[in-house]
Chains A and B, each alone.
Chain A
């Protein structure tokens, strides 16, 4: 029961995040591609509950923004609380009323036109960061999950086969894994991009993204899986099953691979974070989703500049959002790992077989 609680404790917030992200069209105040050219690099707006005279408002508001930018130089703004825009929730809006994308019907949060609500500030084109964060999660989270699934699936198949069947299959697969880990991926990615047709749609580039990250990431986990399989192969119950005439596939599926779940789960949590971060590099190289579709990767990519660190610190929020998500994934992996212990073995789980081959 304790274990179940832990799982829920990790899974609920994650589910919430995924719901928020999936429902971005509803939750986000603006269309992520909409440029507000009068407000580039606007800092986050403060939500006021108390006004200047100390009166409490049940409906919070944001102040208007005064543009103090000179003809050259970085944008500068100040709050102008003589004009206020109360926040409205659960708004049904027709096209154009709030300046948001036409065709959307319901919005979680909005203000009356011509007010603007930038709760997390804007980027260099004046696009609302909060909206981009929510929409961006769609690409990043799901690309991360899918890519991790692809990587781990390949790792379990290839690593399992290598460990279980041994000899030349093992050698071959492990050599290929080493080569995979040694290659300069940038070159491969350039070559790949050159072969693509010019007008790759958003959805196709998303799947390409997933495939590339997934295919690149199988080598490391496969070695660890192989190590575990090698030792599990020697266990008594596996030998017993073989003695009973079970086929290799059955043994792999029923006895051996479950031993690997612990390693795989740890790897999964790590891989998800690595895949999401790998998207940052891919966005640099142009293999990510194209403008103006947002993703956490291309938002982070824009951050990695000195002048952003110095002047526009609020853009780091898109990076901060990853921290709790990674923590939750790790918690979930830990909780699942505690739940899925190797079935009732009195010995120490995977580390004292009689003959331990080199587990690399």
Chain B
């Protein structure tokens, strides 16, 4: 187990390095850079723009910049933001926490909803409950994330007791206790709904298909023959056997959820890394982009690692090797 973990960690580090270098190169390839937008301002001279470029080291070649960035990472700063004129890590710290709150809640919610629905669809495959759920799920699938989010916001506007965006009420005071938690939960409802609605179709279909595969197996027929009741059969016998591909799917859903959450955060004004990343991409603030991509890669890798660990624990067949 320990050997397995260290091996995976070493590979994860390699992936992180590779991603950071790749993003650096991509940033260079994409046209434009941070100070270029100033050229459109008739009141800033070319000389000032050029001087600023030199001051921030944008005229250095790529390896030099990458080396400087690595050094900054070792110092714990993760690079320097031109827009904010500050090291990147303090800017990201809080936002990463906010994004994690949203993403983890949505992850839990979507799986908690997807598993029962998928099981039920597989159980009643081909009959009306399956068809109706299928149609409902396809509706969600066909609607783009942005539209779901906007629709939910418009709904909140009419309903009035749900907030229409943000993470806390405007007069939030950080020292509030239980009231603060209630406030947070209220603000979480819409973004989590939007994210879950986007993830559900994929998850439900995978659960259904995995369960269908298992339900065809002889040992299930044998168990039925033994008189084991339906729900015990589904949850106690079929679901664990179907767990393998589902746990793989879990690892993948973590990554999918993270990228979906970036967009939802922008629309619902959730103060996570999403709006910051979008702005940094459009403005060409490169070190923020690199840092956020690294963070999301880390999250992805952690998700799949977690999936591997789960599988190891849950599936005795793997330990046999």
Contacts and interface: CB of A to CB of B under 8 A. Distances in A.
Q: Do A and B bind each other?
A: yes
Contact of A355 (B19, B202, B304, B321): B321
A15 interface: no
A184 B23 contact: yes
Contacts of B108: none
B141 A309 contact: no
Interface in B1-50: 11, 14-15, 18-19, 22-23, 26-27, 29-31
Interface residues of B, number: 65
A188 interface: yes
A224 B151 contact: no
A198 interface: no
A285 to B, nearest CB: 11
Given A356-B315, A360-B308, A322 B255 contact: no
A16 interface: no
A1 interface: no
B154 interface: yes
A280 B148 CA distance: 14
Given A266-B205, A266-B206, A319-B147, A326 B138 contact: yes
A270 B281 contact: no
Interface in B132-150: 134-135, 138-139, 141-144, 146-147, 150
Contact of B141 (A186, A223, A273): A273
Contacts of B300: 178, 181-182
A262 B213 contact: yes
Given A182-B300, A266-B206, A356-B244, A327 B134 contact: yes
Contact of A300 (B144, B201, B248, B307): B144
A58 interface: no
Contacts of B320: 354-355
B218 interface: yes
A346 to B, nearest CB: 7
Interface string B160-201: 000000000000000000000000000000000000000001
Interface string A311-329: 0000000011011001100
Interface of B is mostly: helix
Q: Give chain A's interface residue range (CB within 8 Å of chain B).
A: 35 or more
A171 B255 contact: no
B297 interface: yes
13 contacts: A175-B15, A182-B15, A182-B19, A183-B293, A270-B201, A280-B144, A326-B141, A327-B134, A327-B135, A349-B213, A349-B216, A351-B217, A358-B308
Interface of B: 11, 14-15, 18-19, 22-23, 26-27, 29-31, 134-135, 138-139, 141-144, 146-147, 150-151, 153-154, 201-202, 205-206, 209, 213-214, 216-219, 241-242, 244-245, 247-248, 251-252, 255, 277, 281, 289, 292-293, 296-297, 300-301, 304, 307-308, 311-312, 315, 317-318, 320-321
Given A182-B15, A327-B138, A348-B241, 10 more contacts: A182-B19, A182-B255, A220-B252, A273-B141, A277-B142, A319-B143, A323-B135, A347-B217, A358-B312, A358-B318
